[in-house]
């Protein structure tokens, strides 16, 4: 007889004689079968529990960033939409932690956020979010339309629009309004005006698109919409929020996407500029 059969039979025999069963059998073979099933269930349960625990320990994602930062909040929103488990490690930008060797080893550009997934280290918030959306495609909200190639392609188009058209216009305005004063500089109105004009043109195209579809990539919320949240959230606290509010479809879209529970969790910590003197 094979070794494993002998060893399994002995183990089963041990349990049959020692583990009390909630029932008794007069028929010995029925008793043996019931004990065998009980032992099998105990072994199966123990093995699967320890596999699951070690899996969970291995799989825990680590996100390095700052809760109030736009790029970190982009990834955080994505993680919440996907209901992913992760550990958040706060990086102190004011102390320059992101320019120290341990952090530079994770992102040589010395910027947050960074995501670690086991031996994989990623930076760039949009790439990290796309990874999270793909890795957890079957859990939480589907942000990438992974079951429909054409819809998925539209999501990619509008993700590019956000990064190539929207972000270059909105980010200098947010920077001038919130960051420049913290650096002891006055906001440069010429930069703000130039970018408000650029942003207006982009938003005219959004207004048209959103009059024909509920969201940017189609009639479904996606990673493309999500990418807009962080900067628009801060932009809405500037005196130029009318750029969004004066365009009815853009306004409705903004109210919709910014009230999703995943973003509300993140937005409550986005208080950049508010705690400063």
Positions touching ligand GS8 (CB under 6 A) are: 69-71, 93, 98, 110-113, 124-126
Nearest to 18 by CA among 42, 35, 41: 35
| CB of 100 or CB of 197, closer to ligand GS8 | 100
58 in helix, strand or coil?
Answer: helix
Specify the residue, 65 or 218, whose C-beta has the smaller distance to ligand GS8: 65
- Give the CA count within 13 Å in the CB-facing half-sphere of 145: 19
The CA-CA-CA angle for residues 120, 160, 247, to 5°, reads 130
Looking at the Cβ atoms of 34 and 236, the one nearer to ligand GS8 is 236
State the minimum distance, in angstroms, from the CB of residue 108 to ligand GS8. Answer: 12
Of the pair 41, 127, the CB lying nearest ligand GS8 is at 127
Q: Which tokens in the block code for residue 158? A: 């509008």
**Phi/psi class of residue 87: alpha, beta or left (left: φ > 0; alpha: ψ in -120 to 50)?**
beta
Q: How far is the CB of 247 from ligand GS8 (least distance, A)?
A: 26
We find the least distance from the C-beta atom of residue 107 to ligand GS8, in angstroms, to be: 8
Name the residue nearer to ligand GS8 (CB basis): 35 or 232: 232
Given a contact cutoff of 8 angstroms between Cβ atoms, the answer to whether 165 and 200 are in contact is: no
The set of residues, in sequence order, having a beta carbon less than 8 Å from that of 258 and lying 6+ positions away, is: 229, 232, 233, 267
220 or 231, CB closer to ligand GS8?
Answer: 231
Query: Minimum distance between the CB of residue 127 and ligand GS8, rounded to whole angstroms?
Result: 8
Cα–Cα distance measured from residue 51 to residue 60, given in angstroms and rounded to the nearest whole number? 14
């Amino acid at each position: 007889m094979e070794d494993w059969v002998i060893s399994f039979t002995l183990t089963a025999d041990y349990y049959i004689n020692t583990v009390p069963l909630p029932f008794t059998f007069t028929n010995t073979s029925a008793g043996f079968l019931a004990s065998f099933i009980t032992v099998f269930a105990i072994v199966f349960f123990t093995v699967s529990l320890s596999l699951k625990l070690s899996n969970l320990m291995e799989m825990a994602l680590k996100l390095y960033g700052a809760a109030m930062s736009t790029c970190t909040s982009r990834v955080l929103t994505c993680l919440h939409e996907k209901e992913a488990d992760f550990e958040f490690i706060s990086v102190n930008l004011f102390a320059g932690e992101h320019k120290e060797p341990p952090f530079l080893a994770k992102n040589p550009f010395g910027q947050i956020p960074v995501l670690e997934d086991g031996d994989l280290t990623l930076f760039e918030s949009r790439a990290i979010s796309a990874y999270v959306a793909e890795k957890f495609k079957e859990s939480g909200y589907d942000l990438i339309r992974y079951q429909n190639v054409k819809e998925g392609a539209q999501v990619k188009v509008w993700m590019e629009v956000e990064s190539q058209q929207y972000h270059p216009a909105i980010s200098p305005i947010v920077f001038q309004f919130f960051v420049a004063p913290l650096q002891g500089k006055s906001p440069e109105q010429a930069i703000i005006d130039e970018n408000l004009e650029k942003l207006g043109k982009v938003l005219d195209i959004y207004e048209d698109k959103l009059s024909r579809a509920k969201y940017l990539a189609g009639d479904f919320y996606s990673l493309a919409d999500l990418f807009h949240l962080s900067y628009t959230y801060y932009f809405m606290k500037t005196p130029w929020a009318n750029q969004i509010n004066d365009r009815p479809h853009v306004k409705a879209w903004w109210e919709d996407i910014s009230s999703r529970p995943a973003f509300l969790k993140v937005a409550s910590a986005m208080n950049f500029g508010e705690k400063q003197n």
